[in-house]
Amino acid sequence: MLELEDIQHYLLTRPKASIARYNFMSFRTAESGRKWLEAMMDTVGTVHSVNNGTETDMRWVTIAFTFNGLRKMGVDEVSLATFPEAFRQGMAARAAMFGDTGENHPDHWEDNITSPDLHAVVILFARDAEECERCIQRHQEYIDLSPGVEILSSVHLEPVPPFDYIHEHFGYRDRITYMSIEGMDIEPTPGSLPASKPGEFFLGYPDETGVIPIMPQPEILTKNGSFLGYRKMQEHVGRFRDFLKANGKTEEEQELVAAKMMGRWRKSGAPLVLCPHKDDPAIGYDDQRNNNFDYEKMDPHGYACPLGAHVRRMNVRDNRISQIMNRRLMIRRGGTYGPALPEGAPEDGANRGVAVFGGCADLTRQFEFLVSVWATDPEFHELNEKDPFIGNHDGTFDMVIPNRPIKKKLKTLPAFTTVKGGAYFFLPGLKGLRYLASLGK
Amino acid sequence: MSQREWENPQAVAIPKDSNNWEMGRYGPVWPKTPACYGFTVIARVKPGKAETLRNYGHIITKALQGSPHVLAPLKLHYLRWVLFDNDTRFMYQGIFDTDFDKYTEDAIALFTATGINTAFENLEGFPEDWKTNKDGFIKFIRDHQCPSFMEYGEYPFVSSDEIKKALKLKAAFSEMLDQMQ
């Protein structure tokens, strides 16, 4: 049974909030960090507090630590050595594996995210802009009470227009598939995998192998915790819109190109496998239908959804490629930052994009595999392609659109995104947070 | 791969070690050669366990007869299992289209399903808790891997999927010609 009163809410529920602020924190001393954490404890949200939240309730805070942060808080070296290699190294040190080279290289990352003094992230959620200001003020008050605690940087996330559907800057509808976990009473939608074993996302529970994986120590710190992979990606909207125009003569053709790259229609999220020629919002907005498909039986050659499309890469639905899809899942959170680029407006160079967290129990098996293998490996499916959106494109890769009689090619895809930040965090349970706050006493 | 690279056999000499090798999720990744990817794992057999190990030849043959495509995700070309030095040592040689690092967890799952991992329990140094200790399994493979210093490919870099596709096309053309008689 999931210990819902101990697990932070972040990966399990979505608060009724449309705005979020990521504050990346640094502590000059262990004591200042602990004092700040102690003061913040009452505001950390669990599933229970989020679902029962009131107008003025600020218990929607999420707190996670980097490896350096755990060390700064005073976790002993013997315990620190039990944490996984990837988490200890940090994402920037593993950049080459992700293909984060050239413009994506960590040297160009923003927000001081590669600073060795990045110790924690606190995520503040708010219902609207006014509440967000209030939360930021409240948080600043906590910081002022704890000298030695500073905000290294912040990322502000809010939805972009049009507001009639949730989407990112390229216009793709988001939050269609979601994880269901045993014990959470959420039925998987038709076509989804069966509900996941909790150990795929939370430490201290059996995972899909049926056993509880070895946990980092001490257990009081790590039980009910998760690992988070953070990626900040700038989205080059003008470049994307130009690409659509260059590859489609009419708006209809352009929408089809957009759909072929993603694997779902842009506005409705309807999967290409179920409606390969025309968007069908009725399917897109019906949870009983929008996930009810596979590729192995329904579309083995990719005539509906290209083999290299983003959603097909991230969730292969094909036993010929992987029989352990249930071990390659992660819970995605995050949102859009930066101003919208109005339709028809020329590229203005503003810093806009998505900042996402991927939650899982095993960063290497889950998060790193999805990004470094299925997204960026040209040998995926022997396509000699990269993910159209998150592959580290340099203008030399094409994308094949299987078609009868002759396949089509989208030639020389530019980089539509640039990686502007990344880090690994550990998201403790409440007992884990209290343990950290109590170290040194 | 350039268009007709497969037409001319190629050999490549591989350095003993290199700082230039790509870093994978679990360590350095040996580069792809004209013989694609592969590993040669050599280990000592636990005393008295050679016959148990040898019997796995039958077990795995049977497992594959039941589901011939079970190893598909690993893109295997060939496997050779050898007992030598008077049955005191075991060599596992595999040639794949995927490198071990990228599909490690798939390999572990598939080896478990086909009984291959249980066969390895008869080797000295193989972690007893391999079912939950993925890192231990990977360490065993990497510690016992003997990298090649030269590899040759008759049809360089060609994947087993490409070969099967070519054979299917050939059969289809043959059928087409027959139907046109």
Report ipTM (2 d.p.).
Answer: 0.88
Q: Are A392 and A415 in contact (CB under 8 A)?
A: yes
Cα dihedral A226, A229, A235, A239, rounded to 10, equals: -130
Q: Tell me how far apart the alpha carbons of residues A375 and B11 are, in angstroms, rounded to a whole number.
A: 31
Between B129 and A307, whose confidence is greater?
A307
- Give the distance from residue A363's alpha carbon to the nearest chain B alpha carbon, in angstroms: 10
Look at residue A34 and give its three-state secondary structure: helix
Give the Å distances, CA to CA, from B180 to A405, B169, B177. 21, 16, 5
Q: Which residues of chain A register pLDDT less than 50?
A: none
A59 found inside a domain = no
What is the value of pTM for the model shown? 0.94
Range of the domain at A274: 233-422
Tell me which chain A residue has its CA closest to the CA of residue B134: A213
A372 found inside a domain = yes
User: Residue A351 has what pLDDT?
Assistant: 97
User: Residue A119 has what pLDDT?
Assistant: 98
The two three-digit tokens of residue A190, written as one number: 């038709």
A252 found inside a domain = yes
A211, A214, A316, A360: which to substitute to probe chain B, counting the most B Cβ within 10 Å? A214
Tell me which chain A residue has its CA closest to the CA of residue B160: A382
Neighbour-count burial of A344, counting CB atoms closer than 10 A to its CB (0-12 exposed, 13-18 middle, 19+ buried): exposed
Give the Å distances, CA to CA, from A26 to A32, A67, A68, A323. 10, 12, 10, 42
Between B132 and A350, whose confidence is greater?
A350
What count of CB pairs under 8 Å joins A to B?
56
User: Residue B58 has what pLDDT?
Assistant: 93
DSSP code, position A186: -
| Cβ contact A96–B23 (<8 Å) | yes
- Give the distance from residue A246's alpha carbon to the nearest chain B alpha carbon, in angstroms: 27
User: Residue A381 has what pLDDT?
Assistant: 87
User: Residue A245 has what pLDDT?
Assistant: 97
Helix H or strand E segment including A26: strand A19-27
| Cβ contact B132–A382 (<8 Å) | no
B27 contacts in chain A (CB < 8 Å): none
User: Residue A437 has what pLDDT?
Assistant: 97
- Give the distance from residue A306's alpha carbon to the nearest chain B alpha carbon, in angstroms: 18
| Cβ contact B109–A320 (<8 Å) | no
Q: Tell me how far apart the alpha carbons of residues A223 and A429 are, in angstroms, rounded to a whole number.
A: 7
Are β-strands A226-235 and A353-360 bridged in parallel, bridged antiparallel, or unpaired?
antiparallel
Tell me which chain B residue has its CA closest to the CA of residue A96: B23
Q: Tell me how far apart the alpha carbons of residues A421 and A230 are, in angstroms, rounded to a whole number.
A: 8
Q: Tell me how far apart the alpha carbons of residues B96 and B103 are, in angstroms, rounded to a whole number.
A: 11
pLDDT at B1 over 60: no
| Cβ contact A323–B24 (<8 Å) | no
Helix H or strand E segment including A357: strand A353-360
Tell me which chain B residue has its CA closest to the CA of residue A366: B105
User: Residue A315 has what pLDDT?
Assistant: 94
A327 contacts in chain B (CB < 8 Å): 105, 109
| Cβ contact A97–B24 (<8 Å) | yes
Give the Å distances, CA to CA, from B82 to B97, B116, B150. 22, 14, 20
Tell me which chain A residue has its CA closest to the CA of residue B22: A97
Q: Is A86 on the interface with B (CB under 8 A)?
A: yes
What value does the mean pLDDT of chain B take?
90
pLDDT tens profile B58-76: 988 988 888 888 888 888 9
- Give the distance from residue A34's alpha carbon to the nearest chain B alpha carbon, in angstroms: 33
A350 found inside a domain = yes
User: Residue A55 has what pLDDT?
Assistant: 59
Cα dihedral B151, B156, B158, B160, rounded to 10, equals: -40
pLDDT at B2 over 60: no
Band of pLDDT at residue B156, cut at 50, 70 and 90: very high
Tell me which chain B residue has its CA closest to the CA of residue A364: B25
The radius of gyration of chain A's CA atoms, rounded to the nearest angstrom, is: 22
Q: Is A325 on the interface with B (CB under 8 A)?
A: no
Residue with tokens 């509440």, as numbered in its chain: A131
A211 contacts in chain B (CB < 8 Å): 131-132
Q: Tell me how far apart the alpha carbons of residues A427 and A360 are, in angstroms, rounded to a whole number.
A: 10
The two three-digit tokens of residue A174, written as one number: 């988001």
A99 contacts in chain B (CB < 8 Å): none
A76: Cβ–Cβ under 8 A, 6 or more apart, which residues?
none
A379 contacts in chain B (CB < 8 Å): 97-98, 102
| Cβ contact A373–B102 (<8 Å) | yes
Tell me which chain B residue has its CA closest to the CA of residue A206: B132
A324 found inside a domain = yes
Q: Is A320 on the interface with B (CB under 8 A)?
A: yes
User: Residue A58 has what pLDDT?
Assistant: 58
Q: Tell me how far apart the alpha carbons of residues A226 and A425 are, in angstroms, rounded to a whole number.
A: 9
A154 found inside a domain = no
Q: Tell me how far apart the alpha carbons of residues A96 and A82 are, in angstroms, rounded to a whole number.
A: 24
Domains annotated for chain B, with CATH where assigned, are: 10-179 (3.30.70.1090)
A322 found inside a domain = yes
A288 found inside a domain = yes
Task: Name the domain count of chain A.
Answer: 1
User: Residue A52 has what pLDDT?
Assistant: 74
